[in-house]
Amino acid sequence: MKRLLSLAGAFLVAMLLSGGALAVDVVAVRIADDADGDAFQLELEGYVRETLPGANMSAAYLSLRNNGETDLQLQSVEVPDLEKAIADLHTTINENGVSRMRPLAQLAIPAGEVVTMTPGGLHLMLRGVQLRVGEALPLRLRFASGITLEVEVPVRGLKAAEAHHHHG
């Protein structure tokens, strides 16, 4: 049976040492398999864009670093606190000079690698949300191994989100 071991204490210490600069941007999580002792470590950093007035769609951009020895398959993402919200993994492809979003059934995160979601590329499409700057959006990540990870990502304004993308 899988269990989730959060490194919340280490995260809190890192946040305090950084003067709070990490806020909810970085989550370090250690997930262990009780059955055979295999473990992997996942670091997640990201943000979600605020919704425009009257709109109920947004996008989230995550960076997922798999520091473990086992490949991960992210199967789905949920928004647990918003009953009507839907989160879908999407990628953007260019067909004959036209960019089109396409849903992904799952997302591979190879061992020792980083998968980065970016505007105009891989992202989480969020529907049924109304988000304001300064809020945090809870996300539930479900992996093929049966592991479920719950995190929060900050909501950023469009200009702040673009600045973060260009600097990070």
Helix (H) or strand (E) holding 16: helix 8-17
For the chain, domain boundaries: 46-167
Residue found by looking up tokens 């200009």 in the block: 159
d(CA 88, CA 90): 6
pLDDT value of residue 39 = 61
* 70-98: pLDDT as tens digits: 899 999 999 998 889 999 999 999 999 99
Residue 69 — very low, low, confident or very high, per pLDDT cuts 50/70/90?
A: confident
| Positive or negative torsion for Cα 116, 121, 127, 129 | positive
Q: Fold for domain 46-167?
A: Immunoglobulin-like (2.60.40)
Token pair, residue 54, equals: 């009257």
- Tokens (6 digits) for 69: 């020895």
CB burial class (10 A; 0-12, 13-18, 19+) of residue 109? buried
The more confident residue out of 67 and 107 is 107
| Pairing status of strand 136-143 against strand 114-116 | unpaired
Reply yes or no on whether the pLDDT at 131 is more than 90: yes
Q: What is the pTM of this model?
A: 0.75
